[in-house]
Structure 1
Amino acid sequence: MFKNLKQQIRPWDYIIIFILLVVSFIPLIIFGYSQKQQMTTATNNAKPTTYAEISVDKKVIKKIKLSRKTQHQLFTLHPHPGEYNIIEVNGTRIRDKEDNTPDQIAVNTGWISKPGQQSICLPHRLIITIKSSNNTNTQDNSLVRP
């Protein structure tokens, strides 16, 4: 069996296998380089600020800075008539504590705190997204009722 296999392999096959092996490491090298660049940029610049962006119908209605100094907040959003979402902020994390949707997906998502994470309440078209930036101190309190 091995004799048949050895007869089928040509000298160029070894060269092609070697080239493919070298090429397979290119994504690892690129990823490592980009990670190093991000770390260098992060250490040279001020530490980026993490904030939560709350949007309804693709319109940003509120931005909340998330840090250790952020006080505990609990507020209610009324995205559309008859709908409500109770949002809770606790320091560096945020969640949809309660809403009146049948599936409760956003409530079951729980706390989110890392950039890129999202909590989505699809029936109310409400999205909470964690983002990172250097200058985000604006807050829009529209749709917030005490």
Structure 2
Amino acid sequence: MRNIIKVMKPLDIIIIVILIAISFIPLTVFSMTQTYNAGDKVTAAIIQDGEVIREIELTGHEGNEQFVIEGKGNQYNLMEVDDERIRIKEDNSPDQVGVKMGWKDKPGETIICLPHKLLVEIRAEGNNTESEEIISY
């Protein structure tokens, strides 16, 4: 350790400190884009095959609600809304990625189940309520 310190020059230390500070810029930018006012209305938009099929207001939601989103054939997603958060509780897709994504409640977060072409997008009022571009499958 002492050998390393002897080899380093003051300019090297300044460069290292600057690089460490720069590495935190993405974290700051992403956290600023995720923020919203406490008074904003937060909703969950459930989108299947590029169409919004249901919107659920999460702000002020109390209790537990479960409902099924049916897809093509025998595809299904059991959705659960508990107070002000939402998740895919159960589905019959082979990989269960949507189920593993867990609870979502902050604007900008998403839950995706690709085999069923299902997207759950958390939105805050003030954000554009329609997706600018919905990816088609």
The question of a shared fold, defined as TM-score above 0.5 by the shorter chain, is answered with yes
Match status 1:58 vs 2:50: yes
- Counterpart AA for 1:47: G
- Counterpart AA for 2:48: V
2:115 and 2:62 map into 1 onto residues whose CA distance is: 29
Query: Which residue does 1:83 correspond to in 2?
Result: 75
Q: Percent identity?
A: 37
TM-score (norm. length: structure 2): 0.64
- Counterpart AA for 1:63: E
1:124 maps to which of 107, 116, 134:
116
CA RMSD, Structure 1 to Structure 2 (Å): 2.9
- Structure of higher CA gyration radius: 1
Aligned residues: 103
**Which segments of 5 or more consecutive residues in structure 2 lack a partner in the other structure?**
1-17, 127-137
1:80 and 1:48 map into 2 onto residues whose CA distance is: 35
Runs (4+) of structure 1 exceeding 6 A deviation are: none
**Which segments of 5 or more consecutive residues in structure 1 lack a partner in the other structure?**
1-20, 135-146
2:61 maps to which of 47, 60, 69:
69
Query: Which residue does 2:106 correspond to in 1?
Result: 114
1:79 and 1:126 map into 2 onto residues whose CA distance is: 9
TM-score (norm. length: structure 1): 0.60
